[in-house]
Every structure is written in C-alpha cells, then in structure tokens.
Structure 1
Amino acid sequence: MFFGRRGFGEKSKSIQIGLVVAITNGQLHLGPWEHIFYYEFDGKRRKRILVKIIWGVVIENMNQQIIDQWLQPLYGQPCWGLNYGRQTNLSLNFGEPSLSIREPYCTESSSETVQQQASQRNVTVHGEWWLWLWCCYWQLTLSNEVLATGSSSNKKIEKAISLLSGQKLVAASVNQSSGFTQFQFDLGCELKCRRYGDDNQDELWNLYMPNRYVLSVHGDGTYQIDRPSE
C-alpha cells in the first residue's frame, strides 16, 4: 500500500509515463482493439503535458506504386554530376542545376585543416534532385555487362560512371523484403544496389527532393519520408 506523495510516484512507475503513437492522415493509427487511457494518481493538480511530433513515416510493405509515385518526376530526366567517394559512396544529380554557396565562418577548432576550410568560400553545384546511394553494395551494368561495382578501383569506377552520365532514368523497382533496388536508364545502363549482409535497418539510398523532403529506402524494404524542418 502506498501513502502520501511518494505513493503517487510509485504508482506512476507501474505504468507508462510516455507514449509513442503513429498519426496517419491526421488520425491516430491504432489497432482495432487498441485504446489510450490516462490515469491520474495525484488529484487535480496543475501539470504540464509534453507532446512532441516527429515527422516521418515508415511503411512496412514497399510496392511499385509507391516507388513510381515518388520517382515519377525523375523519369525521363538525364543524370549528371555523378560523384563517387570511398566514404560517401555514389551520388547522382537530376533536374536543373543551382549554386550552393557557403560563406567563410569563424571556428574555435585548433586544427589547421578545419581553419583553412572555414576561411574559404565553398561553392558547389547540385541538381533539384539528388540520389545518394549510401549503406549499400552497388553494381553498374551496360547491356548486362558489369562496368563497375562499389569495390572496383577508382579508375574503373570513374570510367563506368562517365558512361552512365547523361542517361535518362526510365524505371526503378524495389524488392519488398530486402530493399534491393534496380534503376534502369534509357541507353542500356542499369544501376543495382543491395544491402550489406544482414544489415537490414540501414538506409540503402536517399532521394533529396526540391521541397526538401527526403525519401529513404532501408535494407528491409521499408521506406521513410522525412518532412522539412520548419
């Protein structure tokens, strides 16, 4: 038996004091037998309730309709500005180019490299759409001939992506259980990516959109759409 204010605290420990609930189309996404109950153990005292909204949605069953819905604006557009790095993997640009300018800034870092970077103006060119193959193993083929993979030499990769550059994206498909993705281009190139081993929670690729939304596909076939921060 609990007595006094201490009793209220002990009782609250026996149930959840926080709850995460999905919201779909403005409605609580609850199961047919699920309900939310609020228990008051401390009388009608003044209190504060914290509600935090985390934008984004994860859908368990990826399907072709979803992929076509989000990639439709890219179909028929040529890719350009392809870039590969051992740490950043492979990325492609689509749409009209635009400049992104980062002005010099002050830094408290003692690193000479960081200080030098901070003292310079950084100008980059990027497309309206940016496709970033991230935590995945990728393979680029042309007419079923393997041009390069993520483990090929830099020289071989540079030659391969030069052949892909300028080709128009015409189709894409994602496996519902593994996230294995195939991007098909109009002049015969096909870009495939799959997860590393059993790392099915990692993001295989991300698509950054003009409205600052980001579509992420995971190694278990689910996807997430992050909304822009206000």
Structure 2
Amino acid sequence: STFATKLIKSFRYMNKKAIKLIMLLGLFSCCTSDDNKENSELECTVEIRNKDLVEAITEYQNMMYSEYKKDIESGDSVYVGIWSRDINDSIYRYYLSPVRGMLILPVLAPFDLCKVNGHHVLSSHANLSMIIRQERRFSVLSDNAYIKYSKILFPNEYKDNPKGKILDICHPTDCYLTFLGDSLIDKTYRCGSPRDKVLVKLNGEEVCL
C-alpha cells in the first residue's frame, strides 16, 4: 500500500508538471502567433471615400497590373502610389504612379496605407510644392519602419537584396487626376512627375494647372 501511495503521488506530481508545461507552451504559442501576425500585416490607416477617386485608382490598378504582368508573375511586388497637391482652394491634383521597389519608400514618406480592391495603396504626404532633398526633410521614414514595410510589401526583393535594387523609375504611364471640389474634371495619362502641370478644361477654356 505504501508503494501504491507513492505511485499515486508521483503520478499526480507528473500530471501537475505536464499541465504547467502545456499551459506554458500554449501561452508561448499565443505570444508567437500575435508577434507573427503583427509582423506580417500592416495596418491601413486611411480609407478612400471619394467614388471618382476609387474608380480611377481601380482603372489604374488594372492597367498597371497588366503592364507589369511579367514582373508580378516572377514574384515582384507592384503597388499604386498616390501623391496629392492642392492647386488652389478648390482644385486638387492626385498623381498615380507605380511603386515597384523598396527604395521608393523613403521618397514617399511620410505616407499612409489604404486598400482598394484588396490591394495596398500608398498615399504620400510628401511636400510637392518644392523639391526637398531627403536629408533635409522634417519628416523621414525611420530605419525600423523602412525594414518593416520592405519585408512585408516587397518580401522577395528584401530577401534577395536587403539594400534594395535600382529600378527604372521612368514609368510608361502615370495618371493625373484633377478635381474641382469633390468632382473629377480631368484624367490625363502620360509619363511625368508629381509636380508636372497638365492642360485641363475649366469653364470651357484649356488652362495649364
């Protein structure tokens, strides 16, 4: 009976240790899952609500994904980048261009993320009124943020070359969207830069904005 008592106590002790081990493993698993989730997703901080702008981005996405089909099929990532500029108190310009590599992220910064049709879109708040060298900007992308965005948005590029690779920055087609208030009054496709002016029909006349 003494042996049986010792055996029961030993069994209970082992059970307690096993339960504690299972609980610790479960807790570690939860923490690891949360960390992995946090590191594999980027929060979308902006929602685009203007219907004309959403439709224009959708149209541009379809054109861009067709244009870079071979790159995408080979594993490269391509996103729509948006630059915005107030022309005056009532006229606004949105410039759409492909974002094809991690080296462009510091140029876009500061930027927000949103999603259109399930695809990430990078909305830049960089100052477009003048050309400002990156090292002289008041707001820059931190090294940690740069690595985080690069790993998630451009996983293959970061894996192959953590410093990023030089790409041809001349895009065959960019898109200039001119809004009067909430209404889209002009859509122009051409190769250019966010600061370029385009001809827009306003009050029956063509003006360069």
TM-score normalised according to structure 2 size: 0.22
Richer in helix (by share): 2
Give the greater-gyration-radius structure (CA).
Answer: 2
TM-score normalised according to structure 1 size: 0.21
